[in-house]
Structure 1
Amino acid sequence: MVRMKTTRSFIFLMCPIMVLLFFFYSSGRLHLNSSLQKSRFDKQGFLLKLNRKLPLELQYKYGNLSKGECKPGYTEARMTLIYPEFVKPAPMFLDPNFKRLSKISSYPPPFGLKTQVKERIIDYILAATKSYSLGPELDSLRCKRCIIVGNGGILSNKSLGSKIDQYDVVVRLNEAPVAGFEKDVGSKTTMRITYPEGAIQKSERYEKSSLFVLSAFKPMDFRWLLHMVKRDRLRYMDGFWKSVARVVPREPQDMRILNPYFIQEASFRFIGFPHNNGLMGKGNIPTLGTVAITMALHNCDEVAVAGFGYDLNFLHAPLHYYEKLKMSAIKESWTHNIYKEKEFLRKLVKGGVIQDLTNGI
């Protein structure tokens, strides 16, 4: 009887100890698994070991296509391989339902629209443009191949013009000219993404059939676009850091507002720039080229780039293909961090997400 009581007491004593040991062991395993899981990714969530090999089902899917045929969903598949948290749906341009986009409602420009909703300026612009997509012809494509043409001096003497023109969507940036440079940069322009200070100022230099797309970096940029849409005379220059275009010779239906989510995502998620409480500050603004690439990741089936890459080892090399400004000028920029941005772009190239035609990244 005494032995039975002793045995029972021993069992009662051991039970909680066993439970504690179980939880300790389980938590240790969970912590170990969590640590191992974290060690596979960098701070931004990209795999440290970038795997270019597609799953067998995708190898079979794309392997059955004819050579040179557009691969539906290819960019998304590649991006998801190296960045598992990637979520594709993100509209290219703002439309009248833009207030439903929760990701941009918490940040002021350039990362969102928090301070703009009450002023209704965006509502006025969208009501005037009445168009919010690439257009019927491109929207109907089952598969879209896009190229972002950067402004880098690396484009010079590459004779890539005819290859660039073969893409369905050709994106150009700011005031980079086409006329006179067709051999290297092509002649086709689907859209030109810019901001007031970067916009072409001479009306005769605008393409006749491209979309004019505003990427707004400050509240004043929306007011400027409203003047361009309404063809009002711009009487003030306060709020701009240099001269801006007074007229944009495009019809309202050919004007768009780029979704600011792409600036937010590129800066805070993909590159890892300082958050700065969601405000524009030193070294936390991506270049317009990287913003355009981020937009393409969400909206194109295949993505290529040309004219990208700042080689700061050659400070006297041309910064742009169309002017004599030197590479050293980019070091003076307080808003950009070219080194961190290049790290992100290299991940995309190494992971096979984008193709770099000029091998500058």
Structure 2
Amino acid sequence: MKPTRSLMLVLCPTLVLGFLYYSSGRLHLRTLGQKSRYYPRFLFLSLSLRPLELQYKYGNLSKGECKPGYSEAKMTSIYPKFVKPVPMFLEPNFKRLAKISSYPPPFGIKTQEKIIDVILAETKNYGLGPELDSLSCKRCIIIGNGGILSNKSLGSKIDEYDVVIRLNEAPVSGFEKDVGSKTTMRITYPEGAIQKPERYEKTSLFVFSAFKPLDFRWLRQMVFKEKLRGTEGFWKSVARSVPREPEDMRILNPYFIEEAAFRFIGLPYNNGLMGRGNIPTLGTVAITMALHNCDEVAVAGFGYDMSSPRAPLHYYEKLRMSAIKESWTHNILKEKDFLRKLVTAGVIQDLTNGI
């Protein structure tokens, strides 16, 4: 009896562990072809923190198929407090967003509530549009302006993304082979906006990012097609008109500037005011926005190679890398550390390998 009893004491736990292991494998395999909405969100967040479970969840998808929740799953592995749902653009109920109500521009909307109300009442639209807003999975790419894009022939690959985000006045026409022809939105501020009306895409969203109170006055004049006046205070010339209808204009949620600066990059807080070296670049702000609103995020054209002073600074002009001067507003080194962290962790994909 005693040998048999000892054998059972060993065998029973082994069988139980084997059953649990088998059941676990069956559970993972069953989730592969099903939408994440059929399972509790906390379950996927906990699973997403471990590489093996990520492989189980996404490994059976076809090549190129969008991975629902992928960027969020990766992001929470390095920033556990990251919460995905943050609206891209300001909506009429923007005053409920407590995180931006305490800061003046660029980190919030304090002191600008009335003029924002007026602008939003005229634009009337606050999303990407019915087709994109209805997608259950979005693949987004942010196109930087770096010379590293030249001669890469990435245009067709860039155009495959659902949402293509461009920055400031970087041109598309004539550079389609390298940068693509599709533009979902162009994010800019007054000094960075395209100044020649004929260079604007006819179907893209004009997305405004404010860095100072004066910027909202400029936007109001653009939305209402008023004659530009009161240009004192801009650090360079600004566009005198924007050839887009009000319904094609949006105001970027300033939460992404605040989060990128203080939570992700670790720039000086300066009592929540703009100061030396505490403003993230628009590219990093756009990436932060995409991480909250897209399931997969890629970038191209990011990164400055300071060891190659003769390399082109931008893909569309002859300026060289040596033209970069120390920035008063940005901390390029700390920002690059943050972006490299995202690439290393697989949160974003860098198509040009410049980060």
Range into which the TM-score falls when normalised by the shorter chain: 0.7 to 0.9
Q: Is the 8 A contact 1:203 1:247 kept in 2?
A: yes
CA distance in 1, matches of 2:51, 2:332: 33
Partner of 1:226: 220
**Distance in 1 between the 2:60 and 2:314 partners?**
40
C-alpha offsets along residues 240-266 of structure 1, whole Å, 9 cap, x if unaligned? 110000010000000000000000000
Is 1:100 aligned with 2:96? Answer: yes
Q: Which residue of 2 aligns with 1:305?
A: 299
**1:120-178 CA distance string (max 9 Å, x none):** 11001000000000000000111000000000000000000000000000000000000
**1:328–1:276 Cα change, 3 Å:** farther
Aligned to 1:347: 341
Shift of residue 53, structure 1, vs aligned partner: 7.6
Mapped pair 1:78 → 2:84: no
**1:76/1:88 contact within 8 Å kept:** yes
Q: Tell me the percent identity.
A: 83
Structure 2: distance between partners of 1:103 and 1:316? 43
The amino acid that maps onto 1:127 is: A
Matched, 1:295 2:252: no
- Secondary structure of the equivalent of 2:324? helix
In 1, the alpha carbon distance for the partners of 2:314 and 2:342 equals 23
- Indicate the SS of the match to 1:172: strand
Range moving further from structure 2, 55-64 or 227-236: 55-64
Q: 1:75 aligns to what SS in structure 2?
A: helix
Tell me the equivalent position of 1:137: 131
In structure 2, C-alpha distance between the alignment counterparts of 1:191 and 1:68, rounded to whole Å: 22
Which deviations, in whole Å up to 9, do the C-alpha atoms of 1:181-233 show, x marking residues without a partner? Answer: 00000000000000000000000000000000001100111111110000000
Provide the secondary structure at the position in 2 that maps to 1:213. Answer: strand
Q: Which residue matches 2:59?
A: 63
Q: Distance in 1 between matches of 2:121 and 2:322?
A: 43
TM-score by length of 2: 0.85
Aligned residues: 308
TM alignment of 1:1-361, pairs within 5 A: 54-117=50-113, 120-361=114-355
> What secondary structure is seen at the aligned counterpart in 2 of 1:146?
strand
Residue type of the partner of 1:92?
A: M
Cα gap change, 1:224 to 1:114, in 2 (>3 Å): same
Secondary structure in 1 matching 2:232: coil
Partner Cα distance (1:148, 1:229) in 2: 25
* Deviation, structure 1 residue 318: 1.5
Aligned counterparts of 1:213 and 1:330: Cα–Cα separation in 2? 26
Q: CA RMSD in A?
A: 1.2
Instruction: State the distance in 2 between where 1:88 and 1:312 align.
Output: 34
CA contact (8 A) 1:54 1:78 kept: no
* Amino acid in structure 2 at the alignment position of 1:143: C
CA contact (8 A) 1:174 1:195 kept: yes
CA contact (8 A) 1:94 1:258 kept: yes
Determine the C-alpha separation between the residues in 2 that align with 1:311 and 1:136.
40
1:293-320 CA-to-partner distances (Å, cap 9, x unmatched) read 0000000000000000011112232211
1:19 alignment counterpart: none
Q: Distance in 1 between matches of 2:307 and 2:201?
A: 35
- Ranges in structure 1 where 5+ consecutive residues have no aligned partner: 1-51
Q: What one-letter code is carried by the residue in structure 2 that aligns with 1:354?
A: I
Cα distance in 2 for residues equivalent to 1:311 and 1:97: 43
Cα gap change, 1:262 to 1:88, in 2 (>3 Å): same
TM-score by length of 1: 0.84
Q: Which amino acid aligns with 2:96?
A: R
Q: Which residue of 2 aligns with 1:40?
A: none
* Aligned-partner residue type, residue 62 of structure 1: Y
Cα deviation for residue 236 of structure 1 reads: 2.5
Runs of 4+ in structure 1 over 2 Å off: 52-59, 328-332
Unaligned runs of 5+ in 2: 1-47
8 Å Cα contact 1:266-1:291 kept in structure 2: yes
